[in-house]
Structure 1
Amino acid sequence: MVTENINSSAIHEATAAALGFYFQSQFALLTLISQTAGEAAVAVERLDDVELKVDGQQLLYQLKHSIQGSPPVVTLASVAFWKTIKVWIDALPLVSLADTTFHLVSVGKVPIDSPLAALCDPGGDREVLLEAMEKEADRVATERASAKSAGAKLPHAARAPGCDAFLALDHSTRLNLLRRVVIKQDSANIGQIPDEVAKRLHLIPRSQRLQAANRLLQWWDLQVVFSLCGKRERVIQRSEMEQQISSIIADLENGTLVAEFSGLSQPEDYEPDGMLTRQIALVKGRPSDIVKAIRSQWRAKEQRSSWIVNNPQMHSKIASYDRLLIEHWSDRHTHMVEDCADLESSQVEAKGLELLRWTHDLAPIQVEPIAHGWSAHYYVQGTYQVLAIDRHVGWHADYLKLLQD
């Protein structure tokens, strides 16, 4: 997978690389959901970026992603093109050429006057392209040989392996390879794939397709990760995807809320609102209390946002449930304030710490869930932290006075 990028700095390169891998995963789903054969299956990062098997054929995809407004064009001088050729030549001993097609998927376009334009048409003539590629590969090899003889720095370092591998093939193998190559230009980028997936969910009402597509992508990304780390088979079957779509349809029809963030943790660079830790500091909370609070607050915040984005009507349901949580907290906080009237400050803090830990340990069990069938504890735990940030609840008996600044 090669990713073109706007800025060559390390930070931007890391961002583009991360987006590039995420694009592989999403493109694999888009490819599979576009098939009609029931036995279709895909794998990510095996023989190629994406590998599709359908109707006895093997389709290998090299992806050239870009987040630029004007993505780089694909030409015979492109490093990405020759790196792709090298990948495919390396794969030749592992595949049956007669049953395999090689697809270069690019967000950028191929110039109309480029010899590579022949690859945009599966039935296009490859003879002229073959001659142009041989000429370009010979030029790269000649210039490198001349530089080596002159003791100068060798040019075309990134393209050389692909050019050398291509020249090492005999003429007929080069031509047969090119006859199995197709370029798909002007492809959707990572930001457009959820909409493209949604368009293919024909069994779901139009108004719910994007919501269903986002849920399907979340499930899919997890399957890809599991496939790469050995927690499941490397190949993901279309039947698995169809089963997940059926489950999503059932949830939508029943109005079931899905715990999308169970088992997920906040990003390493996530910084919660400072009020969260200030509230906990008032009752001398331990590091473990802070860790649990931050994790659950992030999950609840993301869950609330996801629900509202996918269904704006959830806003009133969330607000109503917030009021219920505040009521349960208020009953306990009022008693605590009364009990703390004659206590030392350290004892008041200890009472407050008990209230904080009630939100983690008992509240998810004692407070009715936000919806029938909901069982994920993180929503109650984290929503209390969301409310604490806004000072609608607090753990210390005098938290409003102590935090009035």
Structure 2
Amino acid sequence: MSQHSADASLLGYYFQGMYALVKLLDANDYDRISIETFDDVYLDGDVKTLYQLKHSLNSGGNLNEKNDGLWKTIRIWAKMVEKEEVDEATFFIFVTPLLIDENCSLTELSKNDSNRSRVVDDLLMEAKRVAGKRKIAKSKQEALPYKTRWPGCEAYLSLCPEQRVDLVNKITIHPNNFNIKDIHNEVTLKIKNTVPLGIRPKLVERLIEWWDRRVVLGLLNEASRDISKHELIQYIVTLVNELSEENLTDDYGDRNEEADILGELGGNMEAQIDLVNGGKSRKKRAAVARWQARNQRERWLDDDLINGIELKKLDKRLINVWDDYFQTMKYDLEDEDENVLAENGRSLLDWSHRKAFQEVIPVREGWRQPYLVQGSYQQLAEDLVVGWHPEFDEILKKNSSNQEGEK
């Protein structure tokens, strides 16, 4: 497979998920949608709709009865009709960036309440033509033509006349369809009447990111493959609330599995945990929280949802609350041995992760995710602004001086 065809396939798979988002935004309240189940996209509700998608960044050319992509799709749908796997409430949608040839009977499949008898006959004529050409080639012991088109033609020919009529009556063609480049605009159009203009661009961006992850989780069977309209609307409502002036978005709360743990370790943050014999589990949770908090803070700043002054005020509050615990601990343990110092330092470290977020005034009134406080404390520990061991400052600065001297 060439690099070009590989890229096209990847874009095609990605388009399936994004197309499903657009369709679900248009769907009824109790509908559900899935990707790569009964078809490329399957919308399940009072009406069951199977979408077969043909994606392309190049919309040149026209669609007619000789289109290989159409026949590949007919093969799939004809088998379902032949095996009686569909009922009266099931419909097939062929989605393509191509325009339909105006002289072609397929134009009837893009209309409502059209006469489709000509389509049934024209498809049958093309299927018989392909079968005849292959028969002639076989008799001459030549290479058989129409390898891509033939399986669809064969499936269509295997249907009885009534089944062919039933199949064609279930098909609708959506020509001149949008492609992956247009997804942002398509989603924006679908939510423009329900989402305030000021937050619309940021909401659409986050909605697409969330949907992309949600589809992947479904494909990995880590979540239901079916995504309900209720789940989608619920997330949009959450985003509207988070993007209001009184609140902030939570972009990293459910992305802890993506954290680059090794990339977070190796500096003062890890050294501070080692000083109190914190072990691997405390290092891992510290690395994850720091990754989440740093990325979240940067995302807010990039999107102008918060300013640097607010974050500096939060850090100041973190330092003040920590300092109250730290100075008291340091005074009480002045004459204790190293084991006692490390044990109490671990307790302070655990406090920063388990309880501090409940004691520190949040960055915004509506913000309640623990990882911002947890991870910000770890960043402050990396910068040696806070620490856990009563003598962290002296020990780490001494180690730093010794390393500089060795150089």
Structure 2 vs 1, CA of residues 65 and 295 (structure 1 numbering), >3 Å: closer, same or farther? farther
Task: Please state how far the C-alpha of 1:164 moved relative to its aligned partner.
Answer: 2.1
| Mapping of residues 177-188 of structure 1, within 5 Å | 177-188=167-178
Residue matched to 2:189: 199
Q: Deviations over 1:84-106 (max 9, x none)?
A: 22332233323335x44321223
Are 1:255 and 2:246 counterparts?
yes
> Can you list the C-alpha shifts for 1:170-208, whole angstroms capped at 9, x where unaligned?
345335433432332443445643443333331332111
Which of structures 1 and 2 has the bigger CA Rg? 2
Does the aligned pair in 2 maintain the 1:279–1:394 contact within 8 Å? Answer: no
Q: CA offset at residue 52 of structure 1? A: 3.5
- 1:349 deviates by 7.6
Q: Deviations over 1:63-110 (max 9, x none)?
A: 3345x5x3686756665433322332233323335x44321223x334
**2:95 aligned residue:** 105
Query: Which residue is equivalent to 2:110?
Result: 121
Aligned to 2:268, which of 270, 279, 291? 279
Q: Which of residues 311, 319, 332 in structure 2 aligns to 1:318? A: 311
Check whether the contact 1:277–1:290 (CA below 8 A) recurs between aligned residues.
no
- Among residues 71, 77, 80, which one is paired with 1:88 in the alignment? 77
**Are residues 1:208 and 2:199 paired?**
yes
Residue 161 of structure 1 aligns with which residue? 151
Determine the structure 2 residue equivalent to 1:31.
23
Does residue 49 (structure 1) correspond to residue 40 (structure 2)? The answer is yes
Other-structure match for 1:63? 53
Distance 1:389 1:291 in 2: 15
Normalised to the residue count of structure 1, the TM-score between the two structures is 0.70
Shift of 1:149: 7.7
- Aligned-partner Cα distance in 2 for 1:102–1:80: 14
- Name the SS for the 2:52 alignment partner: strand
Contact 1:282 1:349 in 2 (8 A): no
Say which SS state the counterpart of residue 54 (structure 2) adopts: strand
Give the conservation status (yes or no) of the 8 Å contact 2:269–2:381. Answer: no
- Is contact 1:102-1:181 (8 Å) kept? yes
> In the superposition, relative to structure 1, how do residues 373 and 104 fare at CA in structure 2: closer, same or farther (>3 Å)?
same
- 1:104 counterpart SS class: strand
Contact 1:227 1:235 in 2 (8 A): no
Task: Output the CA distance in 2 between the equivalents of 1:350 and 1:258.
Answer: 37
Offset at residue 343 of structure 1 (A): 9.8
Flag structure 1 segments of 5+ consecutive residues without an equivalent: none
CA, structure 1 residues 113+122, in 2 after alignment: closer, same or farther (shift >3 Å)? closer
Structure 2 residue aligned with 1:363: 356
Secondary structure of 1:94 counterpart: coil
Aligned-pair identity in percent equals 27
Instruction: Give, in whole Å, the separation in 2 of the partners of 1:276 and 1:118.
Output: 62
Q: How many residues align?
A: 387
Q: Distance in 2 between matches of 1:351 and 1:147?
A: 86
- CA distance in structure 1 between the aligned counterparts of 2:375 and 2:126, rounded to whole angstroms: 60
Change (3 A) 1:193 1:276: same
Rounded to whole Å, the distance in 2 between the matches of 1:317 and 1:148 is 78
> Which residue matches 1:292?
285
> Structure 1, residues 9-35: CA drift from partner, whole Å, max 9, x if none?
5xx589557625xx43x4333223335
SS of residue matched to 1:266: helix
What SS does structure 2 have at the residue aligned with 1:255?
Answer: coil
Q: Distance in 1 between matches of 2:291 and 2:108?
A: 47
Change in 2 beyond 3 A, CA 1:235/1:322 = closer
Q: Indicate the SS of the match to 1:379.
A: helix
